[in-house]
Amino acid sequence: MLKALIPYLGYFYIWIVGKTSRITWKGSEIPRNLESQGINFVYAFWHSRQFFFVYSHRHQPVSILVSSSRDGEYIAKMLELSGMKTVRGSSTRGGSKALKELVDHARQGNHLGITPDGPRGPAREVKQGVLFLAQKLGLSIIPITYAAKRKMVFGSWDKIHLPLPCNRIVIAHGTPIQMSSQDSLEEKSQELKMALDHITRQADEMVSIRSHVHCL
């Protein structure tokens, strides 16, 4: 019974964080401009910076790749509670089936969301699956991250961040990375890593500018 409640408690917690925090968006016009042209895309974000997107991107047409592990089951349920779709699988379990489902979701007009260093790391090292998928579908990749002034950092392989209520949170987007059939996946991997690390540093700096936060 307790295990069944975990996703609901997790979603309620993130909802409380979002409702009591001051949220600043950086580069939000980037996905808006593509959407206004009817173009879908792939969000890429580090595994350590994923929890708050359950709130910030709720009810958006995004399909998120989630691992087939037990922990992934909780995350998938939280995402579904937020109105997003999920695809289960990873490079080690159910990869080919997950790839086919992601392609189907994208062709139906959904954006995709992938952690390029998940599900097991190494942290902040881009695996080429997200690039292969974007190249196959002809989609741009939008790097995205968030930073929280007040957070818990867990001792997991990715040092995952869990924002606290009554917070200051910055959500930052990077310049879209274009993919063509001639691109080197190795070179694009480095480009995506640099872009994600850059906007993550920017977001961290933005939340540290002021010293006080207030509960909204």
Hey, what CATH class is 2-204 in? alpha beta
Amino acid found at 169: I
Residues 66, 72: contact at Cβ < 8 Å?
A: yes
pLDDT tens per residue, range 120-174: 889 999 999 999 999 999 999 999 999 999 999 998 999 999 999 999 999 999 9
Pairing of strands 62-66, 111-114: parallel
pTM summary value: 0.93
Burial of 3 (0-12, 13-18, 19+ CB in 10 A): exposed
pLDDT tens, residue by residue, 53-81: 999 999 999 999 998 887 789 999 999 99
Using CA atoms, how far apart are residues 131 and 147, in angstroms rounded to an integer? 24
d(CA 192, CA 208): 25
Torsion of CA 122, 127, 129, 135, to 10 degrees: 150
Each domain of the chain, given as residue ranges in start order, spans: 2-204
Q: Quick check: 106 pLDDT over 60?
A: yes
**CA pair distance 132, 112, nearest whole angstrom:** 13
Tell me what the mean pLDDT of segment 169-190 comes to.
95
pLDDT of residue 64: 96
Confidence label for 210 from pLDDT (cuts 50, 70 and 90): low
Q: Which two tokens stand for residue 159?
A: 């040092």
The two tokens of residue 104 are 């189907």
What 3-state DSSP class applies to 106?
helix
In this predicted structure, the answer to whether residue 27 has a pLDDT above a threshold of 60 is: yes
| Cα torsion 30, 198, 158, 137: sign | positive
